[in-house]
Amino acid sequence: MIDLSQPLAHGSDNCTLATCPVCGTDYAANGHRFVVLGVGALKRDGPHSASMSEELSGFMHLFWHNHDEGCASVDIVSDAANGQADLQACSFACMKTLLSGLVDQLEENFHGRRRAAVNTAQADEL
Ligand SMILES: [Zn+2]
Protein backbone atom coordinates (compact mmCIF):
# COMPACT_ATOMS: atom_id res chain seq x y z
CA MET A 1 0.00 0.00 0.00
CA ILE A 2 1.35 3.38 -0.97
CA ASP A 3 1.39 5.85 1.93
CA LEU A 4 -0.42 8.89 0.61
CA SER A 5 -1.18 10.42 4.01
CA GLN A 6 1.32 13.12 2.98
CA PRO A 7 2.38 14.24 -0.50
CA LEU A 8 5.08 11.96 -1.92
CA ALA A 9 7.34 14.99 -2.47
CA HIS A 10 7.20 18.22 -0.52
CA GLY A 11 9.12 21.42 -0.06
CA SER A 12 12.77 22.15 -0.53
CA ASP A 13 14.07 18.63 0.11
CA ASN A 14 15.10 18.47 -3.55
CA CYS A 15 11.70 16.93 -4.31
CA THR A 16 13.10 13.59 -5.26
CA LEU A 17 12.53 10.28 -3.53
CA ALA A 18 15.29 8.22 -1.89
CA THR A 19 13.24 5.03 -1.87
CA CYS A 20 10.57 3.50 -4.06
CA PRO A 21 7.14 4.54 -2.68
CA VAL A 22 5.73 1.17 -3.74
CA CYS A 23 8.22 -1.47 -2.56
CA GLY A 24 10.72 0.56 -0.49
CA THR A 25 13.79 -0.18 -2.63
CA ASP A 26 16.65 2.17 -1.73
CA TYR A 27 17.80 3.75 -5.00
CA ALA A 28 21.37 4.32 -3.82
CA ALA A 29 21.68 0.66 -2.83
CA ASN A 30 20.13 -0.39 -6.14
CA GLY A 31 22.64 1.29 -8.48
CA HIS A 32 20.53 4.45 -8.88
CA ARG A 33 18.21 2.74 -11.37
CA PHE A 34 14.64 4.03 -11.43
CA VAL A 35 11.78 5.25 -13.58
CA VAL A 36 11.00 8.97 -13.17
CA LEU A 37 7.76 10.88 -13.40
CA GLY A 38 8.90 14.49 -13.61
CA VAL A 39 6.54 17.34 -12.86
CA GLY A 40 7.09 21.04 -12.78
CA ALA A 41 7.19 24.39 -14.43
CA LEU A 42 9.82 26.77 -15.72
CA LYS A 43 9.60 30.54 -15.55
CA ARG A 44 9.65 32.21 -18.94
CA ASP A 45 12.63 34.53 -19.13
CA GLY A 46 12.46 35.29 -22.83
CA PRO A 47 10.31 34.68 -25.89
CA HIS A 48 11.88 31.26 -26.46
CA SER A 49 13.56 30.46 -23.16
CA ALA A 50 12.67 29.50 -19.62
CA SER A 51 14.56 28.54 -16.47
CA MET A 52 14.05 27.26 -12.94
CA SER A 53 12.93 29.94 -10.52
CA GLU A 54 12.78 30.33 -6.76
CA GLU A 55 9.52 32.17 -7.40
CA LEU A 56 7.80 28.91 -8.34
CA SER A 57 6.21 26.45 -5.93
CA GLY A 58 5.27 23.26 -7.73
CA PHE A 59 2.37 20.96 -7.08
CA MET A 60 0.72 17.93 -8.59
CA HIS A 61 -2.55 16.44 -7.64
CA LEU A 62 -5.21 14.20 -9.01
CA PHE A 63 -8.60 15.76 -8.86
CA TRP A 64 -12.06 14.37 -9.45
CA HIS A 65 -14.62 17.00 -10.29
CA ASN A 66 -18.28 16.19 -10.43
CA HIS A 67 -20.72 19.05 -10.22
CA ASP A 68 -23.50 16.89 -8.77
CA GLU A 69 -21.62 14.43 -6.57
CA GLY A 70 -18.81 16.60 -5.23
CA CYS A 71 -15.06 16.60 -5.61
CA ALA A 72 -12.10 14.64 -4.26
CA SER A 73 -8.36 14.98 -4.64
CA VAL A 74 -5.01 13.36 -3.88
CA ASP A 75 -2.04 15.65 -3.18
CA ILE A 76 1.02 14.06 -4.78
CA VAL A 77 3.54 16.92 -4.72
CA SER A 78 3.26 20.13 -2.74
CA ASP A 79 5.42 23.23 -2.42
CA ALA A 80 8.12 21.83 -4.69
CA ALA A 81 11.12 24.14 -4.57
CA ASN A 82 11.78 25.90 -7.87
CA GLY A 83 8.52 24.42 -9.13
CA GLN A 84 9.89 20.99 -9.98
CA ALA A 85 9.82 17.48 -8.56
CA ASP A 86 10.76 13.97 -9.65
CA LEU A 87 8.85 10.95 -8.48
CA GLN A 88 10.87 7.80 -8.93
CA ALA A 89 9.92 4.15 -8.81
CA CYS A 90 12.48 1.35 -8.87
CA SER A 91 11.02 -0.42 -11.91
CA PHE A 92 8.44 -0.17 -14.65
CA ALA A 93 6.21 -2.44 -12.60
CA CYS A 94 6.45 -0.23 -9.51
CA MET A 95 5.75 2.92 -11.59
CA LYS A 96 2.62 1.26 -12.96
CA THR A 97 1.61 0.33 -9.41
CA LEU A 98 2.33 3.87 -8.22
CA LEU A 99 0.26 5.52 -10.94
CA SER A 100 -2.56 3.04 -10.52
CA GLY A 101 -2.36 3.46 -6.72
CA LEU A 102 -2.72 7.22 -7.05
CA VAL A 103 -5.91 6.77 -9.06
CA ASP A 104 -7.12 4.13 -6.58
CA GLN A 105 -6.55 6.62 -3.74
CA LEU A 106 -8.49 9.30 -5.59
CA GLU A 107 -11.36 6.89 -6.09
CA GLU A 108 -11.26 5.88 -2.41
CA ASN A 109 -11.24 9.54 -1.33
CA PHE A 110 -14.20 10.25 -3.57
CA HIS A 111 -16.23 7.32 -2.30
CA GLY A 112 -15.23 8.15 1.29
CA ARG A 113 -16.53 11.68 0.84
CA ARG A 114 -19.75 10.33 -0.65
CA ARG A 115 -20.21 7.96 2.30
CA ALA A 116 -19.56 10.82 4.74
CA ALA A 117 -22.08 13.01 2.91
CA VAL A 118 -24.69 10.24 3.00
CA ASN A 119 -24.06 9.65 6.71
CA THR A 120 -24.44 13.36 7.42
CA ALA A 121 -27.66 13.50 5.40
CA GLN A 122 -29.02 10.45 7.26
CA ALA A 123 -28.07 11.99 10.63
CA ASP A 124 -29.87 15.18 9.64
CA GLU A 125 -33.04 13.16 8.94
CA LEU A 126 -33.06 11.66 12.44
ZN1 LIG B 1 9.71 -0.51 -6.24
pLDDT tens digits, 9-44: 887 666 788 899 999 999 999 898 899 998 988 999
Cα of 22 vs centre of ligand 1, distance in Å, is: 5
Distance 88 CA to ligand 1 centre (A): 9
What's CA 62's distance to the chain center, in Å? 7
60 C-alpha to center of ligand 1: Å?
A: 21
> Is there a contact between 107 and 66 (Cβ–Cβ < 8 Å)?
no
Detail the DSSP E strand segments found in 1-126: 9-10, 35-40, 43-46, 49-51, 57-64, 72-81, 84-89
Per-residue pLDDT tens digits of the chain, which is 126 residues long: 788 888 888 876 667 888 999 999 999 998 988 999 989 889 999 999 999 999 999 999 999 988 787 889 999 999 998 999 999 999 999 999 999 999 999 999 998 877 777 777 777 776
- How close is the Cα of 79 to the center of ligand 1, in Å? 24
Closest C-alpha among 108, 49, 50, 116 to residue 74: 108
Domain ranges of the chain: 9-121
